[in-house]
């Protein structure tokens, strides 16, 4: 799986420097591939290619329907290679293969398909009668986009940016996380085969310092970033200094509220895949589980059984529910939070250690803490591992207050036999997405964060509008433009 080039201007080009990034298997701790580590010179080349493709290339001038045809071809080619891509991502970052197929690959192509459809029907130009006189309102591609993505759902997050950027007529410089560069090589092969014009997508594998060079590059018009809140604040400050457009999708600490009328067995069955999603390395993971005091013991018992029964295994084993964490430092971080939970007086109900039977790999047992108060560190900070906390509430108002008592506001859910009470609660929780008896995400509707979970929205028409600039052309009275 070794690679020695970057994908720039529609071609495979030699790196400017000699440094490499090692891709390490989270399951075996062995180096499985090496790729070049981009320098600022490589970024400059990638940005120049994207700039030229936007300023003088065919892509922004093509009709949205023509762009949609290329996007549909890319989707078809990705789907045809789904097994290879899913396996590559599982090998890079430890995602269970059952999740990788749907959550990493098909979720990405569904997003691409959604924007392919939207490109065909979106009103990129609109005539308005006006107050002072008639206008033509255009929505044009924002220009050169710097797309900076994390390691946890690399292709899916890439597509949240790439698909609307392509639909808008913009061009892209993509920087994958240094730990997960391989899936982006497969994407590059696909876009080349699909005939995407040169320079529309350029990919530089690099770490954060070189990433900052993309953020501050004067020829980049917009940054679309997904990652940690700490990095998001730094990137927002850098963009602010240049008044550069920027969208930030950051962390989360979502609360699942179990109401007293919920059927517990269907609730736990529905909740667990959302709580331990992607080894717990998911920004939307429902990791704070809120149960009323009257049912608290019963809920904790049911959760304990489900967490203890979540099979830990190798990423490529189809039976695996929880695989290894993506990096040694992530295991240290998660173990640090487990220690902190015990220290602050939470009751460890299940897990807390390393699973038996694994000599290698960055595995952590699926873990449940009970008797957690919302002030504890493990209830406030994003752990990004398979660690759940169960918090008791007094009544529905208290549950909503606990859900809202967070710096984050990305996602949440409520579990109930009465969907109307679910909607009533959803209206009161300050998060960007919300689920009733399920996951709160749909590709045709906006996704993003309140509070420190981000700025701006992805998905839906709102996600496209993040890559558009509006332009008003005031027309002479009585004139009808072609």
- As annotated, the active-site residues are 249, 283
Q: How far is residue 332 from each of residues 205, 292, 347, 444, measured CA to CA in Å?
A: 25, 33, 20, 37
Which residues from 453-472 bind ligand NAD, rule CB under 6 A?
A: 454
3-state secondary structure of 22: strand
Please state whether beta strands 31-36 and 125-128 pair in parallel, antiparallel, or not at all (unpaired): unpaired
Q: Does 47 bind ligand NAD (CB under 6 A)?
A: no
152 or 183: CB nearest ligand NAD: 152
374 or 433: CB nearest ligand NAD: 433
Contact indicator for 429, 253 with CB cutoff of 8 Å:
no
Collect all residues with Cβ–Cβ distance below 8 Å to 67 and sequence separation of at least 6: 59, 119, 166, 167, 169
In angstroms, the CA 258 to CA 248 distance is 30
Q: Does 152 bind ligand NAD (CB under 6 A)?
A: yes
In angstroms, the CA 447 to CA 468 distance is 17
Which span sits near ligand NAD by CB under 6 A: 43-51, 248-256, 316-324, 436-444?
248-256
Which span sits near ligand NAD by CB under 6 A: 98-106, 174-182, 301-309, 317-325?
174-182
Q: Which residue in 53, 157, 268, 306 binds ligand NAD (CB under 6 A)? A: 157
Q: Does 249 bind ligand NAD (CB under 6 A)?
A: yes
Which span sits near ligand NAD by CB under 6 A: 22-30, 224-232, 305-313, 469-477?
224-232
Q: Does 234 bind ligand NAD (CB under 6 A)?
A: yes
E strands, 227-292, are 245-249, 254-258, 286-292
51 or 457: CB nearest ligand NAD: 457
CB of 73 to ligand NAD, least distance (A): 27
Q: Which residue in 252, 352, 422, 466 binds ligand NAD (CB under 6 A)? A: 252
Q: Does 382 bind ligand NAD (CB under 6 A)?
A: yes
Sign of CA dihedral 349, 353, 358, 360: positive
Q: Which residue in 147, 148, 258, 459 binds ligand NAD (CB under 6 A)? A: 148
- In what helix (H) or strand (E) does residue 208 lie, and over which residues does it extend? helix 208-216
In angstroms, the CA 400 to CA 290 distance is 10
3-state SS of 182-204 is HHHHHHHHHHHHHCCCCCCEEEC
Contact indicator for 71, 108 with CB cutoff of 8 Å:
no
54 or 447: CB nearest ligand NAD: 447
146 or 422: CB nearest ligand NAD: 146
Query: Interface residues with ligand NAD (CB under 6 A)?
Result: 148-153, 157, 175, 177-178, 207-208, 211-212, 215, 226-228, 231, 234-235, 249-252, 283, 382, 384, 410, 449, 454
């Amino acid at each position: 799986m070794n690679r020695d080039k970057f994908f720039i201007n529609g071609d495979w080009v030699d790196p400017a420097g000699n440094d490499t990034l090692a891709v390490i298997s989270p399951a075996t701790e062995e180096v499985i591939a090496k790729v070049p580590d981009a320098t600022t010179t490589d970024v400059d080349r990638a940005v120049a290619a994207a700039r030229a493709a936007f300023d003088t290339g065919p892509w922004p001038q093509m009709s949205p329907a023509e762009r949609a045809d290329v996007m549909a071809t890319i989707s078809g080619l990705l789907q045809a290679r789904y097994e290879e891509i899913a396996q590559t991502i599982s090998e890079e970052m430890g995602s269970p293969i059952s999740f990788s197929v749907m959550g990493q690959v098909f979720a990405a192509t569904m997003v691409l398909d959604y924007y392919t459809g939207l490109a065909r029907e979106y009103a990129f130009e609109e005539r308005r009668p006006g107050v002072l006189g008639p206008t033509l309102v255009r929505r044009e591609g924002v220009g050169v986009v710097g797309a900076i993505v994390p390691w946890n759902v690399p292709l899916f997050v890439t597509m949240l940016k790439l698909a609307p950027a392509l639909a808008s007529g913009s061009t892209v410089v993509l920087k994958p996380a240094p730990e997960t560069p391989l899936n982006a090589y497969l994407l590059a092969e696909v876009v080349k085969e699909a005939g995407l014009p040169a320079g529309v997508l350029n990919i530089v594998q690099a770490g954060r310092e070189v990433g900052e060079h993309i953020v501050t590059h004067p020829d980049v018009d917009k940054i679309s970033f997904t990652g940690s809140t700490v990095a998001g604040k730094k990137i927002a400050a850098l963009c602010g200094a240049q008044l550069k457009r920027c969208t930030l999708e950051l962390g989360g600490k979502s609360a699942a509220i179990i109401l007293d009328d919920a059927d517990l067995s269907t609730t736990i069955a529905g909740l667990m895949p959302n709580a331990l999603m992607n080894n717990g390395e998911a920004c939307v993971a429902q990791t704070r589980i809120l149960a009323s005091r009257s049912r608290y013991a019963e809920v904790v018992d049911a959760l304990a059984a489900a967490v203890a029964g979540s099979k830990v295994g190798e990423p490529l084993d189809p039976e695996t529910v929880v695989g290894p964490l993506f990096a040694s430092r992530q295991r240290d971080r998660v173990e640090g939070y487990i220690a902190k939970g015990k220290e602050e007086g939470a009751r460890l109900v299940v897990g807390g250690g390393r699973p038996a039977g694994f000599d290698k790999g960055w595995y952590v047992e699926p873990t449940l803490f009970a008797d957690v108060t919302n002030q504890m560190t493990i209830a406030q900070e994003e752990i990004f591992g398979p660690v759940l906390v169960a918090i008791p509430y007094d009544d529905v108002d208290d549950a909503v207050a606990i859900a809202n008592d967070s710096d984050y506001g990305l996602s949440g859910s409520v579990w109930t036999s009465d969907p109307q009470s679910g909607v009533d609660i959803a209206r009161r929780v300050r998060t960007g997405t919300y689920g009733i008896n399920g996951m709160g995400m749909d590709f045709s509707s906006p996704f993003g964060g309140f509070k420190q979970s981000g700025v701006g929205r992805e998905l839906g028409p709102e996600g496209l509008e993040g890559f558009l600039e509006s332009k008003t052309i005031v027309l002479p009275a009585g004139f009808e433009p072609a």
